[in-house]
């Protein structure tokens, strides 16, 4: 089943969206204003402004963003991209979030299953051409699934990689023609750990087993203490991002 079908079945009818010009104007007006706001305020603003045309995305490394949203935007859509290559622990975290939190978890999938992709392009595309594999299994399905939204929130943080140090809290995603909201962009690793501890937030068990950054199993390895937390992603290659945030 393709991503948009899954998303639409779960969400029912949608209200009309704003034009890209209108959305860009919103970014220009409130972007700087919300730059230093608490994460809850940022999500609350986005939900009030965009309503059902606002969603979160989560890779289920932890449930911090979903936990924040459940407080100020109960019932909000949380889009989870099931690449077909997730660890069982990641799927389990998704199921636990769906069962215990006041958010609407929507699972989207690539156009082709792993088996269909293998039949057409050969097995283990992730080894031969990880950029293409990510494009097919992450970037394209997410872009399609966001069709019915004007704004999307991510758990992206500036502390994660060099590519993310200038990520705005409220930005214009020119490729997707949508407002991109990063409520915890300013949070450090310690801020995340503190929020998890103080609020008993669900965390993917792999995070306590040497995986500080969790993606698809073929492209994620354990990280030794003191190593760059992102060094376990696409290890041994120059690749550092899947393309969703570029």
H/E run at residue 56: strand 54-57
Residue 134, annotated as binding a ligand? yes
Find the shortest distance in angstroms from Cβ 199 to ligand SF4: 29
Contact assessment for residue 77 and residue 11, using Cβ atoms and an 8 Å cutoff: yes
Quick check: is 55 catalytic? Answer: no
Q: Judged by CB, which is closer to ligand SF4: 67, or 86? A: 86
Binding region for ligand SF4 (CB under 6 A) out of 35-43, 67-75, 128-136, 140-148? 128-136
242 makes contact with ligand SF4 (CB under 6 A): yes
Q: By CB under 6 A, is residue 130 in contact with ligand SF4?
A: yes
Rounded to the nearest 10 degrees, how much is the dihedral formed by the CA atoms of 108, 114, 117, 121? Answer: 140
Can residue 109 be called a binding residue for ligand SF4 (CB under 6 A)?
no
| Alpha carbon distance 98, 168 (integer Å) | 28
Q: Annotation-wise, does 216 bind a ligand?
A: yes
Count CB neighbours of 36 within 10 A: 10
- 169: how many CB neighbours lie within 10 A of its CB? 22
58 near 142, Cβ under 8 Å?
no
State which of residues 30, 63, 65, 219 lies at the interface with ligand SF4 (CB under 6 A).
Answer: 219
Distance CA 80, CA 84 (A): 12
Does position 137 interact with ligand SF4 (CB under 6 A)? The reply is: yes
Cβ-contact 187, 37 below 8 angstroms = no
- Residue 83 touches ligand SF4, criterion: CB under 6 A: yes
Q: Do the Cβ atoms of 70 and 98 come closer than 8 Å?
A: no
Using CB under 6 A as the criterion, what x/- string covers residues 37-66 for binding ligand SF4? ------------------------------
Give 38 or 218: the residue with its C-beta nearer to ligand SF4: 218
Question: Would you give the DSSP letter of residue 61?
Answer: S
Residue 179: which H helix or E strand, with range? strand 178-181
Choice from 133, 167, 170, 185 touching ligand SF4 (CB under 6 A): 133
Catalytic residues: 242
Q: What residues make contact with ligand SF4 under the rule CB under 6 A?
A: 83, 85, 126, 130, 133-134, 137-138, 215-216, 218-219, 242
Binding site feature residues for [4Fe-4S] cluster? 133-134, 216, 219
Binding site feature residues? 133-134, 216, 219
């Amino acid at each position: 089943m393709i991503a948009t079908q899954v998303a639409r079945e779960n969400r029912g009818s949608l209200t009309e969206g704003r034009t890209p010009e209108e959305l860009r104007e919103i970014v220009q007006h409130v972007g700087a204003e919300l730059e230093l706001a608490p994460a809850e305020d940022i999500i609350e603003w986005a939900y009030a402004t965009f309503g059902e045309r606002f969603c979160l995305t989560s890779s289920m490394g932890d449930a911090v963003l979903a936990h924040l949203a459940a407080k100020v935007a109960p019932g909000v859509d949380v889009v989870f991209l099931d690449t077909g290559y997730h660890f069982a622990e990641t799927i389990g975290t998704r199921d636990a979030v769906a069962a215990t939190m006041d958010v609407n978890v929507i699972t989207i999938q690539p156009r082709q299953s792993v088996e269909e992709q293998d039949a057409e392009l050969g097995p283990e595309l992730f080894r031969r051409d990880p950029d293409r594999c990510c494009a097919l299994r992450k970037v394209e399905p997410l872009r399609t699934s966001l069709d019915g939204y004007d704004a999307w929130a991510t758990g992206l943080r500036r502390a994660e990689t060099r590519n993310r140090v200038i990520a705005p809290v409220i930005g214009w995603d020119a490729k997707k023609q949508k407002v991109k909201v990063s409520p915890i962009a300013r949070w450090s690793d310690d801020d995340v750990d503190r929020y998890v501890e103080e609020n008993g937030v669900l965390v993917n068990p792999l995070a306590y087993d040497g995986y500080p950054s969790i993606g698809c199993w073929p492209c994620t390895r354990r990280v030794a203490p003191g190593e760059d937390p992102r060094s376990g992603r696409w290890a041994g290659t120059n690749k550092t991002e899947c393309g969703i945030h570029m």
